[in-house]
Amino acid sequence: MRGALWGFDRVVLRGTLRAIRYAEGMKAYLIRKGIWVGDFAQHVQAVSERLKESSLAEARKLGRKIVYWASSQADKEARARRIAAEEKITRGPVWGLTCVEPCPSFEMYRHRETKKRELVSRLRKGLFLYHYGIHPMFGFMNARIQTGFPFPVQIGLNGREWRARQREAAGLK
């Protein structure tokens, strides 16, 4: 019997908190929270630290490796796959890493003429969290989370692995 299989090679899901993606939305957020402009940096640091700790908690609890990588260009997925093979991980978190990369974020800017502080959106360097794991239905997958406002998230699925798991569940070779 002959047939054809089709599907996605990669599926990438992206999300962000749209309400605070721009400076005006971020200003409104600060007002709602009752945060003074001068406390902006402290607030951002505290929220980012909470996100980092809670995001990596499960991997730490399971004793998975969490490392800092100085290069954003390195092949993180290949390393995660090697770790999964070496440690015989077939389900759940495999590896977590942190990396500093360019990203859109906010900073306080002192306007030269008016001498007032303004919140502006700028391209800066920020900490990203990478999670690699093996899902029972989707297979090998990853998540990339920016730890600073506006917290964009990207989730990547390998379509070929997903399809292979579907074939296995149906009893096909």
| Residue extents of the structural domains in the chain | 15-169
- What is the rounded radius of gyration, in angstroms, for the C-alpha atoms of the chain? 20
What six digits make up the tokens of 140? 């090998």
Structural element, H or E, at residue 29:
helix 23-33
Predicted confidence band at 7 (pLDDT cuts at 50, 70, 90)? low
Global pTM? 0.83
pLDDT at 33: 94
pLDDT beyond 80 at 2: no
pLDDT at 3: 59
What DSSP string runs through 44-113? Answer: HHHHHHHHHHHHHHHHHHTT-EEEEES-SSS-HHHHHHHHHHHTT--SEEEEEEEEEEEEEEEEEEE-TT
Average pLDDT over residues 74-87: 90
* Separation between Cα atoms, residue 41 and residue 108, nearest integer Å: 8
Per the CB < 8 A criterion, the answer to whether 69 and 76 are in contact is: yes
Quick one: DSSP state of residue 140?
A: E
Average pLDDT over residues 112-126: 87
pLDDT beyond 70 at 1: no
